[in-house]
Amino acid sequence: MNLAAGYIAQTLQTHDELVAARVNEHRRNAADRRADRAEQAARAARSGLLRRLAALWHDGRTASTMRPAH
């Protein structure tokens, strides 16, 4: 009987470890996706600012003479 109980306990522990590993992998993947989205947003913001400044430079204006965007 003790062997059966030990086998069941080990099986449950192994299952719990597998579930925990799967959950951690999902969390890690979600964190990676969030980081990628933040990086893309930052890249887009930098790109937008650079394009705006390039357009000003092309028009012969400076940032100090530019009208605020809001």
pLDDT score for 15: 92
List the chain domain ranges: 2-58
pLDDT score for 70: 57
pLDDT score for 67: 62
Tens-digit pLDDT profile for residues 2-45: 788 888 888 999 999 999 999 999 999 999 999 999 998 888 88
pLDDT score for 68: 61
DSSP state of 66: S
Alpha-carbon distance of 7 to 13, in angstroms, equals: 10
Alpha-carbon distance of 53 to 26, in angstroms, equals: 41
More confident: 43 or 63: 43
Cα 12 to chain centroid, rounded: 33
